[in-house]
Chains A and B, each alone.
Chain A
Amino acid sequence: DAGVTQSPTHLIKTRGQQVTLRCSPISGHKSVSWYQQVLGQGPQFIFQYYEKEERGRGNFPDRFSARQFPNYSSELNVNALLLGDSALYLCASSPGDRANYGYTFGSGTRLTVV
C-alpha cells in the first residue's frame, strides 16, 4: 500500500506569492492534518479535515487555508508568503478523526520563501 504522498517535495517561492501544497492520504483514511515544521522545532498543528469538514484549526493567520476533496486528498494554500513561512510542511492521515487512531505522516514539502 502507498503511504501518505505529498507534492511537490521542494518548492521555492518569492515573498508575496501564493503556494498550494498537495497531500494524498493512505487509501481508506478519511482524515488529513497539516503541520508546519520550522527548522530546529517540533511540528505545529495547522488544520485537520475529516470527511471534507474542518475539524480543527491551529494558531495560524487567515493567509493559511485548506480543503479536502471527495477522494479525501487535501490541499493547503498559503497566500501572501512571508520569509517566516519557510518550513517543512507535513501532511498526516488517519482512519478517523480522533488522535487515538494514530497518524501516518508523509515526507513533507520543503518550502523556501526568498
Chain B
Amino acid sequence: AQSVTQLGSHVSVSEGALVLLRCNYSSSVPPYLFWYVQYPNQGLQLLLKYTSAATLVKGINGFEAEFKKSETSFHLTKPSAHMSDAAEYFCAVSEDAGGTSYGKLTFGQGTILTVHP
C-alpha cells in the first residue's frame, strides 16, 4: 500500500533563506509523486510532479524536487524563500496500479511553512 510521511508539521525560515520540505514515500510499484500547495481557505495548487522522467523536477514559483529511489524521498526545495511562499504544502503519491487504487492520490499530513521577514 502506498503512504507518505512528511517530516515536520511546521517549518519556519527567514525571507531569502533556503526552503527544504521533506517527504518520504512507501510504494510497492514505481510511484508518481506530487507536491501541492494550499493557501488558507483555498483548494490545492500543483507545484510539480514526478512521473518517471527526469529525477530532478522543476515546478512553479521557483520550487524543485528530486526523486531519490534509494532513499524513497521526494524533498521539495526553493533556494530563496519569499513571504508569499507561506502556506501549507502537501506531498502525495500514486501507485497507479489499477484496481481500487486507480488514479488515487495518497497525501501526507502537510507541512505549514512560515516565512519571517
Contact = CB atoms under 8 A, between A and B. Distances in A.
Contacts of B46: 102-105
A55 B109 contact: no
Contact of A58 (B42, B104, B108, B110): B104
A56 B104 contact: yes
A63 interface: no
Interface of B: 4, 32, 34, 36, 41-46, 49, 51-52, 90, 92, 94, 96, 100-110
A108 to B, nearest CB: 5
A105 B45 contact: yes
B98 to A, nearest CB: 9
Contacts, number: 74
A45 B106 contact: yes
The interface size bin for chain A is: 20 to 34
Nearest to B112: A40
A31 interface: yes
Given A33-B103, A42-B92, A45-B104, 19 more contacts: A4-B43, A41-B109, A42-B4, A44-B107, A45-B105, A48-B103, A48-B104, A56-B100, A56-B101, A56-B104, A92-B44, A98-B96, A99-B32, A100-B49, A100-B51, A100-B96, A102-B34, A105-B44, A108-B43
A57 B102 CA distance: 9
